Amino acid sequence: MSNELWRESAIGLAKMIRDKVVSSREVIESHIRRIETVNPAVNAVTVLLAESALSAADEADKHAAIGPLHGVPFSIKENIDCLGSATTQGLPAFIDAMPTSDAPVVARMKAAGAIPLARTNLPELGLRITTDNPLRGRTLNPWDSSRTAGGSSGGEASGLATGMSPIGLGNDIGGSLRNPAYCCGITSLKPTTGRIPQASSMPPHDFYLAAQLMAVQGPMARHVADIQLGYEILSGRDSRDPISVDAPLQGPDPENKNVALVTKIPGVTLSDTAMEAIHRAGSHLSSQGWNVTEAEPPELERVNELWGYLLSADIVQTLPEISPIMSEAAVGLLEGLVTTFDTATMPSLVLHTERSRLSRIWSEFFHDYPVVIGPTWTDIPFLHDADIDPDTGVSTTLDRIRFITPGNLLGIPAVALPMGVADGLPTGIQIYADRWREDLCLQAAARIEAKVGQICPIDPIA
């Protein structure tokens, strides 16, 4: 049985360890063997922390459970500080960038008893929606090696999808938790901005404005129950993040049980598989007493526009500093973005006033529809490097994430949920709710997952 422990959920493993059915060492060893077996096919794990993980497992086996993930391994994106391992950001220049303390999310996972097992891949500085860099190379999609695994938390998603880890940590400023979850067939939670703290022990210690307003840390896993537990473990104030807050994990029952299905995205035509997944999710909730209606969220085009301007304002400021340490292709994509969203044409006062207005009218929309279900990506995972094509790369990126951007610009929570497989690729949906209502996203996701099940772990498919 220990050879197949990598198939289990994080919660299932924790219970087995707690009940002495298996040891933490057996769980860690099973995942190490799995990494050694399948990682060469997808390049998701960049550093295997085998020695320290086995030592921590032996310690865990000597003691009673200290937390809900006692003895369970977890994986960590390589732009999140984990003591004893470099925070490379996917850059050769940062190969020896060793943190002096754990990031808040890593510290909280450890406090819950979880054991760091592996670091996972990302694009340079997390600034693409695919996963490739000059330091670690390309991460492959386990469902189709010719297509993107998504990004920027693509190593996490590919590793989770193939059973190399039961639960992991990523982050998101433009879908980086949700994009790869969709591409690889797993689930993830993008929390409300401020719900889960983020901080680094290495400079720059303070984020630029777009990152302050839009970037978040979050859990990734194969099971909704696991991201629910991750949400509970990771949430809450940390003094290293002045934006972070303590807020209730559960809110009151909404005044109605209305669900909005978003089947029209301005500027693109949704793929047939996306439409089918959205309608199927709606039908599962309808059968459980929800009032499901097709509806259009307000001013989605303006949301996408302001997200682009806000992110570009950061990129313009940092490009002179980061360009010399990034690849030419990645810099070209960033230059394309700042050309598309010329910040000289968007006064700061207008940008932030408009962002506030959009937040208000979306909140009113959520009052009418407490749960909103739409696509994660508007189309299937693209072929490798389509996002850096000099002619079409920017549109390939921006068109895919037209329903991703509300989560970041407006700071609202979202769950990416797999819905099955079509033509050999995962399908999926995205579930939104108003600020601080992660509980509604997770409840809806759990109800739908109970009907559709999970599609991972899988063996990589060439």
Given 30, 152, 200, 327, the catalytic residue = 152
pLDDT in tens, 12-50: 999 999 999 999 999 999 999 999 999 999 999 999 999
Contact 226, 167 (CB under 8 A): yes
Average of per-residue pLDDT across 120-136: 98
Q: How far apart, in whole angstroms, are the C-alpha atoms of residue 210 and residue 319?
A: 14
pLDDT in tens, 69-78: 999 999 999 9
Q: How far apart, in whole angstroms, are the C-alpha atoms of residue 244 and residue 262?
A: 30
**158's tokens:** 């590919």
Given 24, 176, 200, 244, the catalytic residue = 176
Q: Is 152 a catalytic residue?
A: yes
246-266 exposure pattern, b = at least 16 Cβ within 10 A, e = fewer: eeeeeeeebeeebbbbbbebe
pLDDT band at 462 (very low <50, low <70, confident <90, very high): confident
% of the chain residues with pLDDT over 70: 100
Question: Is the confidence at residue 63, as pLDDT, over 60?
Answer: yes
Mean pLDDT over each residue of the chain, to the nearest integer? 97
pLDDT of residue 1: 52
Domains of the chain: 2-452 (3.90.1300.10)
Given 24, 30, 77, 359, the catalytic residue = 77
Bridge-based pairing of strands 216-221 and 167-172 is antiparallel
SS3 356: helix
Bridge-based pairing of strands 414-422 and 425-432 is antiparallel
Give this prediction's pTM.
0.98
pLDDT in tens, 250-295: 999 999 999 999 999 999 999 999 999 999 999 999 999 999 999 9
**49's tokens:** 């922390």
CA atoms within 13 A on the CB side of 397: 24
Contact 457, 426 (CB under 8 A): no
Q: Is 93 left (phi over 0), alpha (psi -120 to 50) or beta?
A: alpha
pLDDT in tens, 91-121: 999 999 999 999 999 999 999 999 999 999 9
pLDDT band at 174 (very low <50, low <70, confident <90, very high): very high
Q: Is 77 a catalytic residue?
A: yes
Question: Is the confidence at residue 365, as pLDDT, over 90?
Answer: yes
DSSP-assigned beta bridge partners for residue 76: 119, 169
Helices (H) and strands (E) in the chain, counts: 15, 11
pLDDT in tens, 232-246: 999 999 999 999 999
* Helical segments of 240-299, H only: 272-286
**192's tokens:** 């409300």
